[in-house]
Protein backbone atom coordinates (compact mmCIF):
# COMPACT_ATOMS: atom_id res chain seq x y z
CA UNK A 1 0.00 0.00 0.00
CA UNK A 2 1.34 3.45 -0.94
CA UNK A 3 2.21 6.22 1.48
CA UNK A 4 1.06 9.35 -0.38
CA UNK A 5 2.07 12.93 0.30
CA UNK A 6 -0.69 15.17 1.65
CA UNK A 7 0.41 18.81 1.92
CA UNK A 8 -2.18 20.74 3.87
CA UNK A 9 -2.43 24.00 1.92
CA UNK A 10 -3.94 22.63 -1.32
CA UNK A 11 -6.86 21.12 0.58
CA UNK A 12 -7.00 23.25 3.73
CA UNK A 13 -10.53 24.54 3.05
CA UNK A 14 -11.78 21.01 2.34
CA UNK A 15 -10.04 19.71 5.47
CA UNK A 16 -11.71 22.37 7.60
CA UNK A 17 -15.14 21.57 6.15
CA UNK A 18 -14.67 17.81 6.48
CA UNK A 19 -13.49 18.27 10.06
CA UNK A 20 -16.76 20.00 10.91
CA UNK A 21 -18.83 17.39 9.09
CA UNK A 22 -17.16 14.65 11.13
CA UNK A 23 -18.01 16.62 14.27
CA UNK A 24 -21.71 16.61 13.35
CA UNK A 25 -21.62 12.83 12.81
CA UNK A 26 -19.44 12.32 15.87
CA UNK A 27 -21.90 14.19 18.06
CA UNK A 28 -24.66 11.92 16.78
CA UNK A 29 -22.55 8.99 17.94
CA UNK A 30 -22.05 10.71 21.29
CA UNK A 31 -25.82 11.08 21.64
CA UNK A 32 -26.58 7.46 20.74
CA UNK A 33 -23.74 5.56 22.43
CA UNK A 34 -22.89 4.53 26.01
CA UNK A 35 -20.25 6.74 27.61
CA UNK A 36 -17.19 4.50 27.46
CA UNK A 37 -14.10 5.59 29.44
CA UNK A 38 -11.88 8.27 27.89
CA UNK A 39 -14.65 9.05 25.34
CA UNK A 40 -13.79 5.94 23.32
CA UNK A 41 -17.49 5.44 22.61
CA UNK A 42 -17.65 8.62 20.54
CA UNK A 43 -14.90 8.05 17.98
CA UNK A 44 -14.96 6.96 14.33
CA UNK A 45 -13.23 3.95 12.75
CA UNK A 46 -11.23 3.74 9.53
CA UNK A 47 -12.79 1.48 6.91
CA UNK A 48 -11.71 0.40 3.41
CA UNK A 49 -13.88 3.22 2.06
CA UNK A 50 -13.73 5.98 4.67
CA UNK A 51 -14.83 6.53 8.27
CA UNK A 52 -17.64 4.82 10.19
CA UNK A 53 -19.49 5.28 13.47
CA UNK A 54 -20.06 1.55 13.87
CA UNK A 55 -23.43 0.44 15.19
CA UNK A 56 -25.32 2.77 17.52
CA UNK A 57 -28.82 2.38 18.97
CA UNK A 58 -31.79 4.71 18.96
CA UNK A 59 -33.73 2.89 21.65
CA UNK A 60 -33.58 -0.67 20.28
CA UNK A 61 -33.14 0.36 16.62
CA UNK A 62 -29.62 0.02 15.19
CA UNK A 63 -28.16 3.10 13.50
CA UNK A 64 -24.93 3.47 11.54
CA UNK A 65 -23.41 6.39 9.63
CA UNK A 66 -20.56 5.96 7.17
CA UNK A 67 -18.44 8.45 5.26
CA UNK A 68 -17.73 6.82 1.87
CA UNK A 69 -14.73 8.65 0.44
CA UNK A 70 -14.67 6.49 -2.69
CA UNK A 71 -18.19 7.15 -3.99
CA UNK A 72 -18.44 10.35 -1.92
CA UNK A 73 -21.58 9.71 0.01
CA UNK A 74 -22.72 9.77 3.62
CA UNK A 75 -24.55 6.48 4.14
CA UNK A 76 -27.14 6.52 6.93
CA UNK A 77 -28.66 3.20 8.00
CA UNK A 78 -31.55 3.14 10.48
CA UNK A 79 -32.87 -0.36 11.03
CA UNK A 80 -33.18 -1.79 7.53
CA UNK A 81 -33.68 1.54 5.81
CA UNK A 82 -30.87 3.43 4.12
CA UNK A 83 -30.37 6.95 2.79
CA UNK A 84 -27.26 8.28 1.11
CA UNK A 85 -26.41 11.97 1.13
CA UNK A 86 -23.99 13.24 -1.50
CA UNK A 87 -20.61 14.51 -0.29
CA UNK A 88 -20.01 17.57 -2.42
CA UNK A 89 -19.40 21.28 -1.90
CA UNK A 90 -22.06 22.28 0.63
CA UNK A 91 -22.08 24.36 3.77
CA UNK A 92 -21.78 22.93 7.25
CA UNK A 93 -25.22 24.41 7.97
CA UNK A 94 -26.75 22.48 5.06
CA UNK A 95 -24.93 19.25 6.01
CA UNK A 96 -26.03 19.57 9.66
CA UNK A 97 -29.64 20.21 8.67
CA UNK A 98 -29.82 17.31 6.22
CA UNK A 99 -28.15 14.76 8.52
CA UNK A 100 -30.51 15.49 11.41
CA UNK A 101 -33.55 15.71 9.12
CA UNK A 102 -32.70 12.36 7.52
CA UNK A 103 -32.31 10.66 10.89
CA UNK A 104 -35.65 12.06 12.01
CA UNK A 105 -37.36 11.01 8.80
CA UNK A 106 -36.03 7.47 9.29
CA UNK A 107 -37.44 7.33 12.81
CA UNK A 108 -34.29 8.16 14.78
CA UNK A 109 -34.52 11.84 15.78
CA UNK A 110 -31.39 13.04 17.58
CA UNK A 111 -30.48 16.20 19.47
CA UNK A 112 -26.80 17.16 19.48
CA UNK A 113 -24.74 19.98 20.94
CA UNK A 114 -24.90 22.63 18.25
CA UNK A 115 -21.32 23.92 18.12
CA UNK A 116 -17.95 22.36 17.25
CA UNK A 117 -15.21 21.57 19.76
CA UNK A 118 -11.43 22.02 19.71
CA UNK A 119 -11.44 24.52 16.84
CA UNK A 120 -10.61 28.23 16.93
CA UNK A 121 -13.53 30.65 16.62
CA UNK A 122 -16.27 27.99 16.44
CA UNK A 123 -19.40 28.81 14.48
CA UNK A 124 -22.63 26.99 15.45
CA UNK A 125 -23.29 24.27 12.90
CA UNK A 126 -26.71 25.63 11.97
CA UNK A 127 -25.21 29.06 11.18
CA UNK A 128 -22.01 27.98 9.42
CA UNK A 129 -22.26 29.05 5.79
CA UNK A 130 -18.51 29.80 5.77
CA UNK A 131 -17.13 26.25 5.42
CA UNK A 132 -18.40 24.58 2.27
CA UNK A 133 -15.44 23.17 0.30
CA UNK A 134 -15.16 19.56 -0.87
CA UNK A 135 -12.31 18.46 -3.13
CA UNK A 136 -13.12 14.80 -3.81
CA UNK A 137 -9.61 13.90 -4.99
CA UNK A 138 -8.03 15.41 -1.89
CA UNK A 139 -10.44 13.54 0.37
CA UNK A 140 -9.56 10.26 -1.35
CA UNK A 141 -5.88 11.07 -0.80
CA UNK A 142 -6.58 11.76 2.88
CA UNK A 143 -8.23 8.35 3.14
CA UNK A 144 -5.22 6.80 1.39
CA UNK A 145 -3.05 8.17 4.21
CA UNK A 146 -5.34 6.90 6.96
CA UNK A 147 -5.19 3.30 5.74
CA UNK A 148 -1.43 2.56 6.15
CA UNK A 149 -1.29 4.54 9.40
CA UNK A 150 -4.25 2.58 10.75
CA UNK A 151 -2.61 -0.70 9.74
CA UNK A 152 0.71 0.03 11.49
CA UNK A 153 -1.04 1.47 14.55
CA UNK A 154 -3.07 -1.74 14.87
CA UNK A 155 0.10 -3.84 14.75
CA UNK A 156 1.69 -1.60 17.39
CA UNK A 157 -1.40 -1.88 19.60
CA UNK A 158 -1.25 -5.69 19.43
CA UNK A 159 2.05 -5.68 21.34
CA UNK A 160 0.40 -4.24 24.45
CA UNK A 161 -1.51 -6.61 26.71
CA UNK A 162 -2.30 -3.96 29.28
CA UNK A 163 -5.15 -1.50 28.86
CA UNK A 164 -5.11 0.08 25.42
CA UNK A 165 -7.49 2.14 23.34
CA UNK A 166 -8.70 0.99 19.95
CA UNK A 167 -7.08 2.64 16.96
CA UNK A 168 -9.68 5.31 16.32
CA UNK A 169 -10.36 8.68 14.74
CA UNK A 170 -11.10 11.59 17.06
CA UNK A 171 -13.39 14.11 15.38
CA UNK A 172 -12.55 16.80 17.95
CA UNK A 173 -8.91 17.18 16.97
CA UNK A 174 -9.32 15.40 13.59
CA UNK A 175 -6.63 12.82 14.25
CA UNK A 176 -6.14 9.06 14.17
CA UNK A 177 -4.72 7.83 17.46
CA UNK A 178 -3.91 4.91 19.74
CA UNK A 179 -3.15 5.05 23.48
CA UNK A 180 -1.45 2.70 25.94
CA UNK A 181 -1.99 2.85 29.70
CA UNK A 182 0.18 1.89 32.66
CA UNK A 183 -2.81 1.07 34.89
CA UNK A 184 -2.06 3.92 37.29
CA UNK A 185 -4.23 6.99 37.81
CA UNK A 186 -2.94 10.36 36.64
CA UNK A 187 -3.03 13.78 38.30
CA UNK A 188 -5.97 15.95 37.17
CA UNK A 189 -5.30 17.38 33.74
CA UNK A 190 -4.92 21.20 33.81
CA UNK A 191 -7.39 21.57 30.94
CA UNK A 192 -7.29 24.67 28.80
CA UNK A 193 -8.00 22.98 25.45
CA UNK A 194 -9.97 25.48 23.35
CA UNK A 195 -13.71 24.86 23.34
CA UNK A 196 -13.41 21.55 25.18
CA UNK A 197 -14.66 21.57 28.80
CA UNK A 198 -11.99 20.92 31.42
CA UNK A 199 -14.13 18.18 33.03
CA UNK A 200 -14.24 16.37 29.69
CA UNK A 201 -10.47 16.69 29.27
CA UNK A 202 -9.93 15.23 32.75
CA UNK A 203 -12.04 12.20 31.85
CA UNK A 204 -9.91 11.67 28.76
CA UNK A 205 -6.67 11.85 30.76
CA UNK A 206 -7.76 10.24 34.02
CA UNK A 207 -5.04 7.57 33.83
CA UNK A 208 -1.34 7.60 33.04
CA UNK A 209 -0.75 6.97 29.34
CA UNK A 210 1.36 7.28 26.25
CA UNK A 211 -0.44 8.24 23.07
CA UNK A 212 0.51 8.42 19.41
CA UNK A 213 -1.39 9.61 16.39
CA UNK A 214 -1.44 11.25 13.00
CA UNK A 215 -3.05 14.48 11.96
CA UNK A 216 -3.09 16.38 8.64
CA UNK A 217 -1.48 19.56 9.94
CA UNK A 218 -4.51 21.38 11.27
CA UNK A 219 -2.84 21.96 14.65
CA UNK A 220 -0.03 24.21 15.84
CA UNK A 221 2.64 22.48 13.72
CA UNK A 222 0.90 23.36 10.45
CA UNK A 223 2.06 20.29 8.51
CA UNK A 224 0.95 16.65 8.47
CA UNK A 225 2.87 14.61 11.02
CA UNK A 226 2.87 11.64 13.31
CA UNK A 227 2.90 12.72 16.95
CA UNK A 228 3.50 11.12 20.34
CA UNK A 229 3.21 12.35 23.91
CA UNK A 230 2.93 11.12 27.48
CA UNK A 231 0.56 12.21 30.20
CA UNK A 232 1.82 13.07 32.69
CA UNK A 233 5.15 13.73 31.03
CA UNK A 234 7.84 12.06 33.18
CA UNK A 235 11.27 13.45 33.93
CA UNK A 236 13.74 12.02 31.44
CA UNK A 237 11.16 11.70 28.64
CA UNK A 238 13.43 13.53 26.21
CA UNK A 239 16.18 10.91 26.41
CA UNK A 240 16.30 7.16 26.02
CA UNK A 241 15.38 4.85 23.16
CA UNK A 242 16.53 5.89 19.67
CA UNK A 243 14.12 7.61 17.30
CA UNK A 244 14.08 7.74 13.48
CA UNK A 245 15.87 10.54 11.67
CA UNK A 246 13.65 13.61 11.41
CA UNK A 247 11.80 12.99 14.69
CA UNK A 248 12.11 15.75 17.28
CA UNK A 249 10.54 17.06 20.47
CA UNK A 250 8.38 20.17 19.92
CA UNK A 251 8.88 22.35 22.98
CA UNK A 252 5.68 24.39 22.63
CA UNK A 253 3.42 21.42 21.91
CA UNK A 254 5.25 19.12 24.36
CA UNK A 255 5.04 16.29 21.87
CA UNK A 256 7.38 14.30 19.68
CA UNK A 257 6.76 14.89 15.98
CA UNK A 258 7.81 13.02 12.86
CA UNK A 259 6.87 15.12 9.83
CA UNK A 260 4.90 13.10 7.29
CA UNK A 261 7.16 14.09 4.39
CA UNK A 262 10.20 12.81 6.30
CA UNK A 263 8.45 9.55 7.11
CA UNK A 264 7.30 8.73 3.58
CA UNK A 265 10.72 9.60 2.14
CA UNK A 266 12.35 6.71 4.02
CA UNK A 267 12.97 3.39 2.23
CA UNK A 268 10.58 1.54 4.55
CA UNK A 269 7.83 3.81 5.98
CA UNK A 270 6.26 0.84 7.83
CA UNK A 271 9.47 0.23 9.76
CA UNK A 272 10.10 3.95 10.30
CA UNK A 273 6.65 4.54 11.74
CA UNK A 274 6.92 1.47 13.95
CA UNK A 275 10.34 2.65 15.21
CA UNK A 276 8.86 6.06 16.09
CA UNK A 277 5.95 4.47 17.96
CA UNK A 278 8.13 2.02 19.85
CA UNK A 279 10.85 4.57 20.60
CA UNK A 280 8.63 7.32 21.94
CA UNK A 281 6.63 4.83 24.01
CA UNK A 282 9.81 3.30 25.46
CA UNK A 283 11.13 6.73 26.44
CA UNK A 284 7.94 7.50 28.38
CA UNK A 285 7.42 4.06 29.92
CA UNK A 286 11.04 3.70 31.02
CA UNK A 287 11.23 7.22 32.45
CA UNK A 288 7.97 6.70 34.37
CA UNK A 289 8.89 3.24 35.64
CA UNK A 290 6.09 1.28 33.97
CA UNK A 291 6.08 -2.49 34.50
CA UNK A 292 6.76 -3.17 30.84
CA UNK A 293 7.49 -6.86 31.36
CA UNK A 294 3.95 -7.37 32.65
CA UNK A 295 2.26 -5.15 30.08
CA UNK A 296 3.97 -6.00 26.81
CA UNK A 297 3.94 -9.02 24.53
CA UNK A 298 7.32 -9.44 22.87
CA UNK A 299 7.49 -9.58 19.07
CA UNK A 300 8.75 -13.18 19.36
CA UNK A 301 5.73 -14.18 21.49
CA UNK A 302 3.34 -12.50 19.10
CA UNK A 303 4.95 -14.15 16.10
CA UNK A 304 4.79 -17.59 17.72
CA UNK A 305 1.10 -17.13 18.57
CA UNK A 306 0.31 -15.95 15.04
CA UNK A 307 2.12 -18.95 13.55
CA UNK A 308 0.04 -21.31 15.68
CA UNK A 309 -3.20 -19.62 14.70
CA UNK A 310 -2.40 -19.62 11.00
CA UNK A 311 -1.25 -23.23 11.11
CA UNK A 312 -4.48 -24.29 12.81
CA UNK A 313 -2.70 -25.86 15.75
CA UNK A 314 -5.26 -24.70 18.28
CA UNK A 315 -8.94 -25.19 19.03
CA UNK A 316 -9.99 -22.35 16.72
CA UNK A 317 -8.79 -24.19 13.59
CA UNK A 318 -6.86 -22.93 10.58
CA UNK A 319 -7.42 -19.55 9.02
CA UNK A 320 -8.01 -18.91 5.35
For the chain, percent of residues with pLDDT exceeding 70:
97
Q: What is the pLDDT of residue 299?
A: 74
Closest CA to 86 of 69, 105, 106: 69
Confidence band, pLDDT 50/70/90 cuts, at residue 306: confident
Strand, helix or coil at 276?
Answer: helix
Q: Is the pLDDT of residue 122 over 60?
A: yes
Query: What per-residue confidence (pLDDT) applies to 314?
Result: 56
- pLDDT bracket for residue 32 (50, 70, 90): very high
Alpha-carbon span 259 to 276, nearest angstrom: 11
So what's the pLDDT on residue 1? 62
Q: What residues contact 159, with CB distance under 8 A and at least 6 apart?
A: 296, 297, 298, 299, 302
What is the pLDDT of the chain when averaged over all its residues? 95
Residue 316 has pLDDT above 80, yes or no: no
Separation of CA 130 from chain center: 25
Check residue 142 and give its pLDDT: 98
Instruction: Please tell me the predicted confidence (pLDDT) of residue 313.
Output: 55
Q: 3-state class of 299 per DSSP?
A: helix
Least confident of 65-74, 159-168, 187-196: 187-196
Please choose, from the candidates 46, 13, 23, 12, the residue with its C-alpha nearest in 3D space to the C-alpha of residue 171.
23
pLDDT of 315 > 70? The answer is no
Tell me the whole-structure pTM to 2 decimals: 0.94
Of 153, 169, 167, the C-alpha closest to 270 is 153
Check residue 83 and give left, alpha or beta (phi > 0: left; psi -120 to 50: alpha): beta
**Per-domain residue ranges for the chain?**
9-133, 137-300
Tens of pLDDT, residues 70-118: 999 999 999 999 999 999 999 999 999 999 999 999 999 999 999 999 9
Q: Give the Cα separation of 77 and 156 in Å (integer).
A: 32
Contact 142, 3 (CB under 8 A): no
Contacts of 317 (CB under 8 A, 6+ apart): none
Mean pLDDT of 221-233: 97
CA–CA gap between residue 130 and residue 111 (Å, rounded):
23
Which of 2-11, 269-278, 308-317 is the least confident region? 308-317
Confidence of residue 284 (pLDDT cuts 50, 70, 90): very high
pLDDT (tens digit per residue) in 51-60? 999 999 999 9
In this predicted model, what pLDDT tens digit does every residue of 175-209 receive, in sequence order? Answer: 999 999 999 999 999 999 888 999 999 999 999 99
Torsion over CA: 42, 45, 50, 55 (sign): negative
Q: How confident is the model at residue 317 (pLDDT cuts 50, 70, 90)?
A: low
Amino acid sequence: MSWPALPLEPWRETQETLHLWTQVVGKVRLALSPLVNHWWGTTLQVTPRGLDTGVMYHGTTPVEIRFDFIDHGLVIDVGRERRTLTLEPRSVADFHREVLATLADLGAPVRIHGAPNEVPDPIPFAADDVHSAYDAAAVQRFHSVLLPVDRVFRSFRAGWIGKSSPVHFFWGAFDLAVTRFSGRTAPPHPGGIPHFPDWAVREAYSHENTSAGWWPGNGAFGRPAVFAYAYPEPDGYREGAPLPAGAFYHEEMREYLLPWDDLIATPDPDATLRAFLEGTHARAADAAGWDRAALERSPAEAEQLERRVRAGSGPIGPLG
